[in-house]
């Protein structure tokens, strides 16, 4: 989701402890949720200290949490606090902060489930503003109660404001033994606004910065890596996807392709290099008029559509029309200028191939066409002129995608994520 445009972004990295069932990796719950207007790109500045936790050996027990589909953007289940409370946050590889709506919540968006109540948790610990962790943060502020305050904004104008705290997170597992991770830094949001709906209880930042969930968990397992497998937007609502950490996030076997993560100073988003896209056998370059820039597109699970340069988008639409035996819809004002077709089922072709550096990733119609209404399927990509290009979550579905922050690699494996 995610462009951090502002404000007082809090950076810290605290030692974590791990209790309960130890393992070399685990999976957590993802729930699909409809939020089609969240387009944003993250820009962050890295500040603050990095506190390493010694590497340890854990006995694998195959922890895994079931996933439920909710037809839209993806929600991930975290169980927060003591006693544990289920929090469903939007999965966002385009930002770092993990936060939840907390009581008291003034000026907050409506939430269907009860908000997290920090005063009821025995393991909730606010980070004081005079602490080493808070003083090392960029743009922190001090609340009237001398706590470490934050204001964290996104490019879609959504904002969360609250205090930084440490809390225990519990994950489920396949053998029903809990995996408990202590001292995770998160934002307890007391004033939150923007493009949210009643199923959203916060955002789970999975970017590459030190505050992200993957970075904090990575300090425990000795490596910062995770994988995701997202069910398609219009899949059966009972289907499921997963997100895995540690050794459980390994992406291997037949069909795996890998592309480099491109690191830029002060950048924590997942930038890769897209050389072009093919429709069938017809290749169209990312940008024919300029030199190909490394790290020209971001993989963002918090943005539904894929945003491309105008020239590439226009070429794709033109070629799709040529290679389709169906007539585009041109008499529906609700569809604006989108390429759409009337069909009761998804299109049978053509297949697109996203040509990342060293990695050709096939995109089937279920990943590139979505139904905005019954009997209509529209191309799930768009043009943008702001220079911020995004590989969105529609296109990411049914691909097991592994992010290795330490090796700076992204791996792709076509997968039926509903049966992963």
Query: In the chain, what are the domain boundaries?
Result: 17-249, 257-419
- Coil, strand or helix at 120: helix
Neighbours of 239 (CB within 10 A): 16
Closest to 158 measured CA to CA, from 35, 47, 249: 35
Question: What CATH number has the domain spanning 17-249?
Answer: 2.40.70.10
- Is the alpha carbon torsion for 184, 190, 194, 198 positive or negative? positive
Do the two domains 17-249 and 257-419 of this chain adopt the same fold? yes
Question: Tell me, what's the pLDDT at 156?
Answer: 86
Give yes or no for a contact between 346 and 366, defined as CB atoms under 8 angstroms apart: yes
Pairing of strands 202-205, 85-92: parallel
- Coil, strand or helix at 93: coil
Tens of pLDDT, residue by residue, the chain (420 residues): 644 333 222 222 222 233 333 345 656 555 544 433 333 332 222 222 223 322 232 333 333 444 444 545 788 888 999 999 999 888 899 998 899 999 999 889 999 999 999 999 999 999 888 876 676 556 578 888 899 998 888 888 899 999 999 999 987 655 567 788 888 999 999 999 998 888 899 999 999 988 888 888 887 777 888 899 988 877 676 777 888 887 778 899 999 999 999 987 667 899 999 999 999 999 999 998 778 999 999 999 988 899 999 999 999 999 999 999 899 999 898 888 899 999 999 888 899 999 999 999 999 999 999 998 899 999 999 999 999 999 999 999 999 999 999 999 999 999 998 887
Question: What distance in Å separates the CA atoms of residue 393 and residue 387, rounded to the nearest whole number?
Answer: 19
> What pTM does this model have?
0.85
Task: Please give the backbone phi and psi of residue 357, each rounded to the nearest 5 degrees, phi first.
Answer: -60, 110
- Coil, strand or helix at 177: coil
Question: What CATH number has the domain spanning 257-419?
Answer: 2.40.70.10
Question: Tell me, what's the pLDDT at 25?
Answer: 65
Closest to 82 measured CA to CA, from 193, 222, 182, 175: 182
Q: Give catalytic residue positions.
A: 92, 300
């Amino acid at each position: 989701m995610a462009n951090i445009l502002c404000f007082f972004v809090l950076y810290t990295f605290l030692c974590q402890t791990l209790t309960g069932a130890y393992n070399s990796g685990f999976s957590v719950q993802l729930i699909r949720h409809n939020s089609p207007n969240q387009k944003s790109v993250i820009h962050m500045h890295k500040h603050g200290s990095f506190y390493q936790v010694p590497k340890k050996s854990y006995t694998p027990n195959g922890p895994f949490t079931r996933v439920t589909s909710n037809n839209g953007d993806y929600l991930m289940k975290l169980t927060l606090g003591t006693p544990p409370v289920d929090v469903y946050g939007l999965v966002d590889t385009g930002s770092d902060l993990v936060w939840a709506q907390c009581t008291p919540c003034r000026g907050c968006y409506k939430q269907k489930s009860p908000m997290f109540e920090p005063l009821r948790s025995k393991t909730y610990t606010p980070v004081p503003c005079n602490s080493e962790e808070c003083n090392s943060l960029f743009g922190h502020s001090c609340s009237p109660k001398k706590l470490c305050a934050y204001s964290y904004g996104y490019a879609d104008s959504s904002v969360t404001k609250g205090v930084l705290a440490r809390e225990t997170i519990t994950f489920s597992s396949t053998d029903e033994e809990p995996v408990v991770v202590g001292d995770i830094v998160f934002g307890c949001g007391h004033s939150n606004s923007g493009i949210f709906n009643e199923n959203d209880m916060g955002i789970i930042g999975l970017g590459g910065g030190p505050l992200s969930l993957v970075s904090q968990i990575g300090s425990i397992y000795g490596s910062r890596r995770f994988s995701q497998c997202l069910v398609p937007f219009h899949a059966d609502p009972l289907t499921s996807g997963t997100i895995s950490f540690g050794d459980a996030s390994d992406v291997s076997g037949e069909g795996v392709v890998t592309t480099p993560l491109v690191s830029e100073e002060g950048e924590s988003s997942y930038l890769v290099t897209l050389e072009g896209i093919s429709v069938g056998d017809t290749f169209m370059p990312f940008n024919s008029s300029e030199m190909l820039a490394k790290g020209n597109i971001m993989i963002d699970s918090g943005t539904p559509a894929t945003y491309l340069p105008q020239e590439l988008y226009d070429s794709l639409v033109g070629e799709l029309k040529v290679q389709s035996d169906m007539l585009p819809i041109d008499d529906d004002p609700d569809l604006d200028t989108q390429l759409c077709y009337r069909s009761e089922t998804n299109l049978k072709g053509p297949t697109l191939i996203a040509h990342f550096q060293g990695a050709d990733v096939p995109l089937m119609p279920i990943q590139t066409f979505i139904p905005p209404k019954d009997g209509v399927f529209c191309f799930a990509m768009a043009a943008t002129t702001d220079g911020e290009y995004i590989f969105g979550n529609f296109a990411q579905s049914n691909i097991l995608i592994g992010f290795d922050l330490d090796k700076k690699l992204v791996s792709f494996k076509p997968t039926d994520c509903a049966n992963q």
